[in-house]
Amino acid sequence: MSLRDLVFKTRSYRRFEESQRIDLKVLEGLVDLARMSASAANRQPLKYLLYNTPEYCQKIFPSVAWAAYLKDWYGPAPGERPSAYVIILGDKSIAESFNFDPGIAAQSIMLGATEAGFGGCMIASIKREALRNDLRIPEKFEIVLILALGKPAENIIIDEIRNDDVKYWRDDKQNHHVPKRPLDELILKI
């Protein structure tokens, strides 16, 4: 798969084939992609928690908010939930600020997940204190992002943005539509 195809296929999936588990070695390989990605001042302050068991996935699920624009949808139903999570932490003993590192690392992981036949969603809307308590995450780590991963169980359609409306939505067949700005709007000629 070309890089272009990989990027175009890497979407924010929110429904999964929950029974399709992701092996721990696959998750470790995805974090290895993040490890080799750029880091501000090469500080490498990010740490990762990997979870792929049903028990831990059930424990993490309530700490995640799923889709702000879908007002009547509270997240994937049982059977459609993630089969793995990668929790990205910032080690405050290494750096006070994590700059762009979490986004770079998360995108590397998501591209790798797509290449491996999986998909996911980067989530920053997290009940951090509940998660910290449930997983016993030490205070020296800032909870930065959660990557929910699994075998995608939904169809995502890219639409051209209309009337400057960026809100994603679902049609009556449960296809997930994501508006994108056209390329000529993004490239400025000053």
Segment 134-142 shows an average pLDDT of 98
Of 109, 106, 110, 115, the closest CA to residue 2 belongs to: 115
This prediction has a pTM of 0.95
What proportion of the chain, given as a percentage, has pLDDT over 70?
Answer: 100
Those residues with Cβ within 8 angstroms of residue 102's Cβ, 6 or more apart along the chain or in another chain: 46, 88, 90, 144, 145
Segment 52-76 shows an average pLDDT of 94
Residue 174: Cβ within 10 Å count: 10
**3.40.718.10, 3.40.109.10, 3.30.70.100, 3.10.560.10: which CATH number matches 3-154?**
3.40.109.10
Segment 27-42 shows an average pLDDT of 97
User: How far is 110 from 34, CA to CA, in rounded Å?
Assistant: 10
Answer whether 83's CB lies under 8 Å from 75's CB.
no
Those residues with Cβ within 8 angstroms of residue 87's Cβ, 6 or more apart along the chain or in another chain: 48, 49, 51, 60, 131, 135, 137, 143, 145, 146, 147
Answer whether 15's CB lies under 8 Å from 153's CB.
yes
Cα atoms in the 13 Å half-sphere on the side-chain side of 14: 22
Q: pLDDT by residue (tens digit) across 77-120?
A: 999 999 999 999 999 999 999 999 999 999 999 999 999 999 99
Rounded (10°) CA dihedral 101, 53, 56, 54: 130
User: How far is 28 from 50, CA to CA, in rounded Å?
Assistant: 8
